[in-house]
Structure 1
């Protein structure tokens, strides 16, 4: 039985989907799909209330973040923010994984969806697709918790960061961001610490950097008044502001079970389809004549099969450009 072009594309696409569903690491190894791409929707995160972009300006250090193979700066990462009337100018410095110095500039504009809010900006940089930048929590003076996510066709690329005004952020501030992410259903354990401090090129002038930044913050924030306690995020059993109602635990469990049941059914049907196509259409031995028979008389069939192998890469591009 011969396989036409449409069946060949369906067969190859099904195999690609099976690899993606089986393991992100397998998908990355076989198809070059980034490991950070995963199934699921982006979290509906509440934004920092009454966010003031001017107070957010100045020097920040990357404390923890989700690994991103497309981000060049891996160590000693600093961000310098400057508000220019209606957008934020960002100067990033750091080291690559090979300890090569990197400098990068970007612009962050206030997103216009669903409604303009300076706590939700869009990052624009040369050679990099636009991405959201959502400030969830910050006291402007010591820490900031930031979330970014793109979703498409049931998959998501999710990133989040903890920033500090000092390269050594107090543990209580880090825990605050962790708990904030956890309350929103975001797995903060995906973040890894960023190397800062003594090993970094800025170490010999760190005192000067911090003093200049403190003088700057003094002008826009006033004298620093440390609080005796850290603001407590919403308890895990309470729905976050601006997020859908969580309902009862029983309702949530029932909904989760239904979703799992549907996903298992879809995967089973996909496996059966692939098995049927394999048994009916693939020859027992390899060879040029058999390959021709499998593809039928359609001269575009072979091209369709090889093209289908790039569908995921096209999907990733569409995801990032959305």
Structure 2
């Protein structure tokens, strides 16, 4: 049964348009804690500037709103590059450990060919709250299959080369591979 489950995960990853990386026999890196991270300052709209996740969308952005008990609502919006159809995926996030306020667990409801709820970690590695944010997610399945994804976000539809280079250096400094970034079109009026 475990082998069948593993083959299913690998098959979905290979045939989907997801560019999240799949590794075998590796671990997720320890990500830094930002002890004074302020979730309410982080809330609001963030544009996807570059990512290692999906190449099927353009004009992607996320909106976060603070709820009670260190929870946030999540609304991800993107436009399919091929059809122009707008896709919205909603969910909720929470801070499981108040001593690590920048490390959230996010659960999203994904509808499409397969309908499922996806839960994963959402670690904000760095943010100045007003201009940029760097987010990393990593999860191990079956003890040896690692899926990871990274997002460089901005409050506007662009980010300076200096900020981009600084954020990618932070990834490298934390043992996170920076190869394979995709830069989606952000020319939509959203």
The TM-score bracket by the shorter chain reads 0.7 to 0.9
Deviations 1:258-303 (A, max 9, x none): xxxxxxxxxxxxxxxxxxxxxxxxxxxxxxxxxxxxxxxxxxxxxx
1:185 CA drift (Å):
1.1
Computed over aligned residues only, the root mean square deviation of the Cα atoms, in angstroms, reads 2.4
- Give the secondary structure class of the aligned counterpart of 1:178: helix
Corresponding residue of 1:151: 140
- Give the secondary structure class of the aligned counterpart of 1:192: coil
Q: Give the Cα–Cα distance (whole angstroms) in 2 for the partners of residues 118 and 131 of structure 1.
A: 16
Corresponding residue of 1:119: 102
Large movers: runs of 4+ above 2 Å: 115-118
Match status 1:37 vs 2:22 = yes
2:121 to 104, 126, 132: 132
Corresponding residue of 2:112: none
- Give the secondary structure class of the aligned counterpart of 2:149: strand
1:53 CA drift (Å):
0.3
- TM-score, scaled to structure 2: 0.81
- TM-score, scaled to structure 1: 0.49
Corresponding residue of 1:105: 90
Q: Give the Cα–Cα distance (whole angstroms) in 2 for the partners of residues 44 and 120 of structure 1.
A: 11
Q: Give the Cα–Cα distance (whole angstroms) in 2 for the partners of residues 48 and 194 of structure 1.
A: 28
- Give the secondary structure class of the aligned counterpart of 1:78: strand
- Give the secondary structure class of the aligned counterpart of 1:150: strand
1:193 to 152, 172, 183: 183
Q: Any unmatched runs of 5+ in structure 2?
A: 15-20, 110-115
- Give the secondary structure class of the aligned counterpart of 2:13: coil
Q: How many residues align?
A: 171
Which of the pair has more CA radius of gyration?
1
Deviations 1:21-57 (A, max 9, x none): xxxxxx99xx725243211111111022310001001
1:175 to 153, 157, 165: 165
Corresponding residue of 2:32: 46
1:116 CA drift (Å):
4.8
Q: Give the Cα–Cα distance (whole angstroms) in 2 for the partners of residues 160 and 109 of structure 1.
A: 19
Which aligned pairs between 1:40-119 and structure 2 lie closer than 5 A?
A: 40-68=26-54, 74-86=57-69, 87-98=71-82, 99-112=84-97, 116-119=99-102
Distance 1:129 1:104, change over 3 A: closer
